[in-house]
Structure 1
Amino acid sequence: MPMELPAVTDEVAVDCDAFRIYRSGKMDRLCRPARAPTGLDPATGVTTKDVVIDAGTGLSARLFLPARSADPSKNTKLPVLVFFHGGAFLIESAVSPQYHGYVASLAAAAGVLAVSVEYRLAPEHPVPAAYDDAWAALRWAAEAQDEWVAEHGDGARLFLAGDSAGGNMVHNVLIRASFEPAPRVEGAILLHPWFGGNTAVVGEDEAMARDMAVVWECACPGAVGGADDPRMNPMAPGAPGLENLRCERMLVCAGQKDWAAARDRAYYAAVTTSAWRGGASWVESEGEGHVFFLQKPDCANAKELMDRVVAFIAGH
């Protein structure tokens, strides 16, 4: 009689509210956010529309235009802010209600024309697809290949911003700009950026760091050095020097109770002690966790953080 073989199960490696990753590399998305509609947002006065950046790759973006005066002579050109959403390179969207609401509020408060990038997600499109899309979106915005950007945007005042994985993308775009022709970036805003490494830094939760290394390898299979891949660990041996960052100013933000805070502090310290000639500022939100400003945008600390971001864009 043939032997009955035991069923083979795929062990879960990382399990969280938003996704589940298995040892095989398979991933389940456990929530799929709705699509926020475009048009006029009465709460902020911001008008939005979706645009295609590259039909070949499917790269698109949602544009956010703050309210303009009925008198054209009173309308000055707006800084252009290119925004990369978070989600571990695996989930979320520029058009989800959460990110639509945050970027609309930022565009209204800071008076910027925002380009929120709908980049390709892993594991269907492994890293570096997201980095390539971020780079293409920056160049597209700088070249004003849309009527809103051409009419209302000031290409001489270009900013990058992103949260979590999006903050990581900001760093990697700035590094790439040191090796390839790129537009001038006035300022970069890294909101709770996701960095990692194979060896824990001071204050880092080692178990969480191991989980996030698994997440990184799901997003970027075969990453050289695992979590010490220079794209994930900017301080790893062989990583491009931080003096190569191509922006005039930088704002690095973390939550005091954020699992990413220890890495973010280490990154900020490395930038400020490098030979980089730009000006860097640090904001740490007391008692707050990872990207808290998305989950509770009306709390006092979220409003304070928004004020700091607005002041940074204004040059204060």
Structure 2
Amino acid sequence: MAANSDEILHDFSPLLKHYKDGRIERLVGLDVVPPSVDPKTGVQSKDVEISPEINVSARLYLPKNPDRSRKLPLLVYFHGGGFLVESAFCSQYQNHLHCLVAEANVVAVSVNYRLAPEHPLPIAFEDSWLALEWIVSQSTEEWINDYADLGRVFFGGDSAGGNIAHNMALRIGTQKLDGINLSGVILNCPFFYGKDPIGNEGADHFNFWKNYNDKLLPYVCPCMSDCDEPWINPAKDEKLSSLGCKKVLVYVAEKDFLKDRGCYYKEILSKSGWHGDVELVEVKGEDHCFNVLYPDSENGIPMLKKVASFINGS
């Protein structure tokens, strides 16, 4: 082993460390749990390969005792992790999807896209679009064919996954994808950013996270010119009004560094000329993606119920 093997080139703790010898050490989201039938909710899951040659896959979820005579909404979910860590197969996201699928009574596809830095952006976006194309191309996947209504599709995601959900919805609106009718998008503490601070981003107690994001973004997307590229700063996107759905639900957390970006997203989307409804919910006393960590907590349960109501139209 080289003498400098423990020297750190990039330190993105608490997510990842990249050493000068080329080693990449992921610090969270490493556990992999098998698909199962959840004893608490009765939700069952299974894994599918979308493009095995490039290692793109997904975990599918089906609620307890689904009725073949009445198809259910389909939720396509994109996990968070700063584009660097986590997977559709870790315990945290399996637990979150169990709770969400049970509460909303939906079929879900949790997409396992490839991660930076080995696979820098825009690869995560291309993998996610590939998953959407796979969904509409299915003729043999029973859970999608027999139980999912592709006329009622929702995209959802937290943090970086919320960013992906937004960008996929925008691509649906500008490029179209025959076979999917996107009904709505759920963004949980979405990872948006910009070159110039807004709101409280410049406050002293947020200095760590501002510096962190300033370094993280060119690391996950080396080809980017600056932090105002449209994929990370929707305020700079001339196509924002083409978002391919009619309703959006945005969740932000009071203590989260990204809170003001989520609030700003609602503002700019409302003023963009987009013909839809956007609702913002701020959860007091909570931090980034609290409900993914604790979906059955005091504030997590009302959020699950709100998302279920948003999907089912009540």
Same fold (TM over 0.5): yes
**C-alpha displacement of 1:18:** 2.6
- Closer, same or farther: CA 295–39 of 1 in aligned 2, 3 Å: closer
Distance 1:120 1:174, change over 3 A: same
Alpha-carbon distance in structure 2 between the residues aligned to 1:9 and 1:17? 17
| 1:110-189 alignment, distance < 5 Å | 110-145=104-139, 146-182=141-177, 183-189=180-186
> Which residue in 2 is equivalent to 1:210?
211
For structure 1, the residue ranges without an aligned partner over 5 or more in a row are 1-6
Q: Give the aligned partner of residue 282 of structure 2.
A: 284
* Deviation sequence 1:75-108 (CA, Å, 0-9, x none): 4111111000000111000010000110111111
- What is the aligned counterpart of 1:79 among 73, 80, 83? 73
Q: Deviations over 1:4-38 (max 9, x none)?
A: xxx89956654422323579997531235221121
Deviation at 1:309, TM superposition (A): 0.6
Displacement of 1:180: 1.6
Q: 1:253 to 1:31 in 2, by over 3 A?
A: closer
User: What are the within-5 Å matches in structure 2 for residues 1-316 of structure 1?
Assistant: 14-20=11-17, 27-68=24-65, 75-145=69-139, 146-182=141-177, 183-204=180-201, 205-225=206-226, 227-236=227-236, 239-316=237-314
Residues 50-59 or 198-207, more deviating: 198-207
Residues 21, 218 of structure 1: 8 Å contact kept: no
Partners of 1:252 and 1:219 in 2: CA distance = 24
What is the rounded CA distance, in whole Å, between the counterparts of 1:315 and 1:24 in structure 2?
A: 53
Structure 1 residue 230: Cα displacement: 1.4
SS of the residue corresponding to residue 62 of structure 1 reads strand
Q: Distance in 1 between matches of 2:23 and 2:225?
A: 20
Q: What is the CA-CA distance between 1:282 and the residue it aligns to? A: 0.9
> How far is the alpha carbon of 1:262 from its aligned partner?
1.0
Give the 3 Å change call, closer, same or farther, for CA 282–213 of structure 1 in structure 2: same
Between 117-126 and 7-16, report the one with greater CA deviation. Answer: 7-16
C-alpha separation between the residues in 1 aligned to 2:10 and 2:284? 31
216 and 299 in structure 1: CA distance in 2 versus 1, 3 angstrom threshold: same
Deviation, structure 1 residue 181? 2.6
Structure-1 separation of matches of 2:281 and 2:242: 23
Within 1, Cα distance between the matches of 2:22 and 2:188? 28
Q: Deviations over 1:220-259 (max 9, x none)?
A: 112122x2121111113xx233211111211011101111
C-alpha distance in 2, partners of 1:297/1:171?
22
The alpha-carbon deviation at position 122 of structure 1 amounts to 0.7
SS at match of 2:59: strand
Q: How much does 1:296 deviate?
A: 2.1
- Aligned-pair distance for 1:113? 0.3
Q: Answer whether contact 2:251 2:281 (CA < 8 A) is retained.
A: yes
The answer to whether the 8 A contact 1:80-1:114 is kept is yes
Identity over aligned residues, as a percent? 37
* Map of 1:4 onto structure 2: none
1:3 aligns to what?
none
SS of 1:116's partner is strand
* Equivalent-residue separation in structure 2 for 1:207 and 1:40 (angstroms): 41
CA distance in 1, matches of 2:56, 2:19: 28
Consecutive aligned runs of 4 or more in structure 1 exceeding 3 Å deviation: 7-15, 21-27, 142-145
The count of corresponding residues between Structure 1 and Structure 2 is 305
Partner SS for 1:232: coil
Structure 2: runs of 5 or more not aligned = none
Query: What amino acid does structure 2 have at the position aligned with 1:105?
Result: C
Question: Residue 188 of structure 1: SS of its match in structure 2?
Answer: strand
Is the 8 Å Cα contact of residues 295 and 301 (structure 2) preserved in structure 1?
yes
Kindly state the Cα deviation for residue 209 of structure 1 after the two structures are TM-superposed.
Answer: 2.0
| TM-score, structure 2 normalization | 0.90
Residue aligned with 1:178, SS:
helix
Sort the Cα spacing of 1:265 and 1:22 in 2 relative to 1 into closer, same or farther, 3 A. farther
Q: Secondary structure, in 3 states, of the residue corresponding to 2:98? A: helix
Shift of 1:176: 1.6
